[in-house]
Amino acid sequence: MDADVIVVGAGLSGLVATAELAEAGKSVLLLDAEPIQSLGGQAHWSFGGLFLIDTPEQRRLGVRDCEELALADWYGSAGFDRDEDYWPRKWAESFVHFAAGDARSWLHGLGVRWFPLVQWAERGGYATPGHGNSVPRFHVTWGTGPGLVEPFANQVLASPRVRLRNRHRVTGLAAGADGVTVTGSVLSPSDAPRGVRTERTEVGGFTFSAQAVVIAAGGIGGNLDLVRKNWPRVWGEPPKNMIIGVPDYVDGSMLEVAQAAGARVINPDRMWHYPEGIVNHSPVWTRHGIRILPGPSSLWLDAEGRRLPAPLFPGFDALGALRAITAAGHDHSWFVTDVETVGKEFALSGSEQNADLTGKNLRLLAGRVAPGPTPEVRAFLDHGVDFLTAQTVAELAVKMNQLTPDHRIDPDVLRQTIELRDLQVGSGLGKDPQITAITAARQFVVDKLMRVVPPHTLLDRKHPGRAGTGGPLVAVRLHVLTRKTLGGLETDLDGRVLVPGGDVLPGVYAAGEAAGFGGGGLHGYRALEGTFLGGCLFSGRTVGRSLAGALA
């Protein structure tokens, strides 16, 4: 045999599993179709947010959290309701226990640190036990995605027990009582920068065998054909126009290889895409989009200029907003706000969109609490095709209609919508649930400091229809942005891949997004933010440790 274990995929879950196996004394052959410069996969591009429970960072901010509350939030979001949810539910319970237990101490021991101001992503806004986090749990890694990948990549690259083979694309898998065999193509060398689409020219083939294989090759988010094929029809038809939040190599091909070998994929119609996507002004991969991480104050309008229903406010229920937009037959929506709100409430997901946190630069970080947008948000205001500014509502409506001529925005209706919203703000109290939510959000010190602008009118009372003191009006066209696969290969709690009927596929394990982050879909229908990276860490560690024990 060529190694004790073959790991397919050098993203975060694959690196974690490899590091655990190597530390346990097992030899590992790590295969990846991309060049070495893409080590770490999607995690490198991430904001680095982790779902953690009852941490010192939370307690210093006066946040009272516990495992029981987090699990209730998880169940309220997941909505498990299928026979196939047996293992996903087990994995969900185990993950929440991990997030409340030794997740932080384990990572801290590896040198990982966090931005001290815990964020509150996906508030939900529904009556319990509905979707959303009851308290802030989104811990941003100091160094963002690269800072989280680094300790595991360093372990793997330094280990004499690991052989890394880039540009090796697995196309076949055979499992039996005597071990596993993987076959595939050796691809031509590539010096393409990280994330850029690489050629798939074959220059040779390979066959490797081992006692076991770990499938950690990600999901389908970069493959629009598969996204459309698996699109849940309760969301309406998949949009004709979507942008993509992951590199091209996230194509689902390894899921098909595993299925051909007998593995069972469950919950393929469960997926996680964002409705707040914007076209990247400096794209890296095909149809490259960026997600806005919004505060709660912008008006969220559909393609025809109507407000989305409560509680579909920015930052409350992304998947619920997506469903409302696509079920109406639309492929875009709008944020309407002003420059003051953009400056305080617009953040961007991605390591490359947060130079201060990624570069661990305290001087740049200080700008987060200063007036005005971050440099990255400013770049989109100045150069982004989806960002429009105007001094009057009428001018803004003209620009919106020029950008999306198939869906007309009535300037009079737009002005009335803004004026009615401003009346609620001006009252000091009001009945509008979004205004109430903004007021409630500012009770949390982090939101008041850096994420939620003080309520103010968007229009000038003395000059009707013109922008108020918050600066020019802003409209942002929002696209559907593909991102994550919530279903995947069905696994037991050791990460062993199952076949239809529930038996184990001998020697085959799965971790990360390929396994629906564990069990074939531990998130159910909806995910709480910070659980994708966390799911990669947990499933990679679980598989690495259980497999090391099984081979002992």
Q: For the beta carbon of residue 501, count every other beta carbon within 10 angstroms.
A: 6
Task: Find out whether 479 and 218 touch, Cβ atoms under 8 Å.
Answer: no
pLDDT of residue 430: 84
In order, the DSSP letters of 49-67 are EEE--S-HHHHHTT----H
Is residue 428 pLDDT above 90, yes or no? Answer: no
Is residue 335 pLDDT above 90, yes or no? Answer: yes
CATH code of the domain occupying 3-217+252-270+486-551: 3.50.50.60
> What is the rounded CA–CA span in Å between residue 434 and residue 122?
15
- pLDDT by residue (tens digit) across 188-243? 999 999 999 999 999 999 999 999 999 999 999 999 999 999 999 999 999 999 99
The type of residue at 218 is G
Is residue 379 pLDDT above 90, yes or no? Answer: yes
Q: Under DSSP, is residue 171 helix (H, G, I), strand (E, B) or coil?
A: strand
pLDDT of residue 368: 85
Q: Where in the chain is the domain with CATH 3.50.50.60?
A: 3-217+252-270+486-551
pTM assigned to the model: 0.96
- pLDDT by residue (tens digit) across 68-122? 999 999 999 999 999 999 999 999 999 999 999 999 999 999 999 999 999 998 8
Q: Under DSSP, is residue 135 helix (H, G, I), strand (E, B) or coil?
A: coil
Structure tokens at 534: 């966390």
pLDDT of residue 12: 98
Which positions ≥6 away from 438 have C-beta within 8 Å? Answer: 296, 297, 452, 455
Beta bridge partners, 176, equal 179
| Span 280-480 CATH architecture | Alpha-Beta Complex (3.90)
* Nearest Cα to Cα of residue 35 among 247, 228, 190, 224: 190
pLDDT of residue 493: 98
pLDDT of residue 102: 97
How does strand 332-338 pair with strand 473-485? antiparallel
Place of tokens 């010190």: 445
Is residue 517 pLDDT above 90, yes or no? Answer: yes
Task: Find out whether 387 and 474 touch, Cβ atoms under 8 Å.
Answer: yes
* Opening angle at CA 41, ends 36 and 46, nearest 5: 135
Structure tokens at 493: 């709690």
pLDDT of residue 513: 98
Q: Where in the chain is the domain with CATH 3.90.700.10?
A: 280-480
Is residue 370 pLDDT above 90, yes or no? Answer: no
